[in-house]
Amino acid sequence: MTAMPLETLAHLDVLAQQTQLGTEGIRGWILNNLLPLLLLTVAILLLWLGGGKGDNAGVMRRLGGVLVALAIVGIAVTNAGIDIGTFIAQLFSTNG
Protein backbone atom coordinates (compact mmCIF):
# COMPACT_ATOMS: atom_id res chain seq x y z
CA MET A 1 0.00 0.00 0.00
CA THR A 2 1.33 3.45 -0.84
CA ALA A 3 1.66 6.06 1.88
CA MET A 4 0.34 9.54 1.09
CA PRO A 5 1.37 12.71 2.86
CA LEU A 6 -1.19 14.10 5.26
CA GLU A 7 -1.41 17.36 3.29
CA THR A 8 -2.44 15.45 0.15
CA LEU A 9 -5.20 13.65 2.00
CA ALA A 10 -6.43 16.92 3.48
CA HIS A 11 -6.43 18.51 0.02
CA LEU A 12 -8.42 15.58 -1.40
CA ASP A 13 -10.91 15.86 1.45
CA VAL A 14 -11.50 19.56 0.73
CA LEU A 15 -11.80 18.86 -2.99
CA ALA A 16 -14.33 16.08 -2.38
CA GLN A 17 -16.45 18.36 -0.21
CA GLN A 18 -16.50 21.12 -2.84
CA THR A 19 -17.49 18.79 -5.68
CA GLN A 20 -21.11 17.84 -6.07
CA LEU A 21 -21.37 14.22 -7.10
CA GLY A 22 -24.17 12.98 -9.28
CA THR A 23 -25.09 10.66 -12.10
CA GLU A 24 -25.41 13.26 -14.85
CA GLY A 25 -22.07 12.31 -16.38
CA ILE A 26 -22.97 8.63 -16.60
CA ARG A 27 -26.51 9.39 -17.82
CA GLY A 28 -25.19 11.73 -20.50
CA TRP A 29 -22.60 9.21 -21.64
CA ILE A 30 -25.24 6.49 -21.95
CA LEU A 31 -27.60 8.79 -23.89
CA ASN A 32 -24.88 10.15 -26.19
CA ASN A 33 -22.83 7.01 -26.79
CA LEU A 34 -24.41 3.76 -25.69
CA LEU A 35 -27.96 4.33 -26.91
CA PRO A 36 -27.01 5.19 -30.53
CA LEU A 37 -24.65 2.20 -30.59
CA LEU A 38 -27.46 -0.09 -29.44
CA LEU A 39 -29.81 1.36 -32.06
CA LEU A 40 -27.23 0.80 -34.77
CA THR A 41 -26.74 -2.79 -33.60
CA VAL A 42 -30.49 -3.45 -33.68
CA ALA A 43 -30.78 -1.96 -37.18
CA ILE A 44 -27.93 -4.09 -38.50
CA LEU A 45 -29.40 -7.22 -36.90
CA LEU A 46 -32.82 -6.50 -38.40
CA LEU A 47 -31.32 -6.12 -41.85
CA TRP A 48 -29.09 -9.16 -41.49
CA LEU A 49 -31.71 -11.53 -40.04
CA GLY A 50 -34.61 -10.77 -42.33
CA GLY A 51 -33.54 -8.48 -45.12
CA GLY A 52 -31.21 -10.91 -46.85
CA LYS A 53 -33.76 -13.74 -46.86
CA GLY A 54 -36.61 -11.69 -48.28
CA ASP A 55 -38.61 -12.03 -45.06
CA ASN A 56 -39.94 -8.48 -45.12
CA ALA A 57 -42.99 -9.30 -43.00
CA GLY A 58 -40.75 -10.71 -40.25
CA VAL A 59 -38.60 -7.61 -40.34
CA MET A 60 -41.66 -5.39 -39.99
CA ARG A 61 -42.91 -7.42 -37.00
CA ARG A 62 -39.55 -7.02 -35.31
CA LEU A 63 -39.51 -3.34 -36.22
CA GLY A 64 -42.85 -2.88 -34.44
CA GLY A 65 -41.30 -4.28 -31.25
CA VAL A 66 -38.30 -2.00 -31.69
CA LEU A 67 -40.57 1.04 -32.06
CA VAL A 68 -42.43 0.14 -28.85
CA ALA A 69 -39.10 -0.23 -27.03
CA LEU A 70 -37.92 3.13 -28.41
CA ALA A 71 -41.14 4.77 -27.20
CA ILE A 72 -40.54 3.39 -23.71
CA VAL A 73 -36.94 4.61 -23.72
CA GLY A 74 -38.09 8.02 -24.95
CA ILE A 75 -40.65 8.31 -22.16
CA ALA A 76 -38.04 7.30 -19.58
CA VAL A 77 -35.41 9.74 -20.87
CA THR A 78 -37.66 12.78 -21.11
CA ASN A 79 -39.48 12.14 -17.81
CA ALA A 80 -42.80 12.35 -19.65
CA GLY A 81 -44.29 9.47 -17.68
CA ILE A 82 -45.82 11.80 -15.10
CA ASP A 83 -47.58 13.86 -17.77
CA ILE A 84 -48.85 10.73 -19.55
CA GLY A 85 -50.10 9.28 -16.25
CA THR A 86 -51.89 12.53 -15.42
CA PHE A 87 -53.52 12.60 -18.86
CA ILE A 88 -54.74 9.01 -18.55
CA ALA A 89 -56.07 9.69 -15.02
CA GLN A 90 -57.97 12.73 -16.33
CA LEU A 91 -59.67 10.52 -18.93
CA PHE A 92 -61.29 8.50 -16.16
CA SER A 93 -61.84 11.36 -13.72
CA THR A 94 -65.37 12.62 -13.12
CA ASN A 95 -64.23 15.98 -11.73
CA GLY A 96 -64.59 18.78 -14.25
User: Which amino acid does the sequence have at 46?
Assistant: L
Asked whether residue 1 is domain-assigned, the answer is: no
pLDDT of residue 36: 84
When pLDDT is cut at 50, 70 and 90, the band that residue 16 belongs to is: low
pLDDT of residue 21: 62
Q: pTM above 0.85?
A: no
Asked whether residue 76 is domain-assigned, the answer is: yes
> How far from each other are the two terminal CA atoms of the chain, in whole angstroms?
69
Residues of the chain above pLDDT 90, percent: 0
Averaged pLDDT for residues 65-86: 84
Asked whether residue 13 is domain-assigned, the answer is: no
Distance CA 5, CA 9 (A): 7
Asked whether residue 14 is domain-assigned, the answer is: no
When pLDDT is cut at 50, 70 and 90, the band that residue 82 belongs to is: confident
Q: How many CB atoms lie within 10 A of CB 66?
A: 15
pLDDT of residue 3: 64
Q: Domain containing 29: what range?
A: 25-92
When pLDDT is cut at 50, 70 and 90, the band that residue 6 belongs to is: low
Asked whether residue 20 is domain-assigned, the answer is: no
- Considering its fold, how many domains does the chain have in total? 1
Asked whether the beta carbons of 50 and 56 are under 8 A apart, the reply is: yes
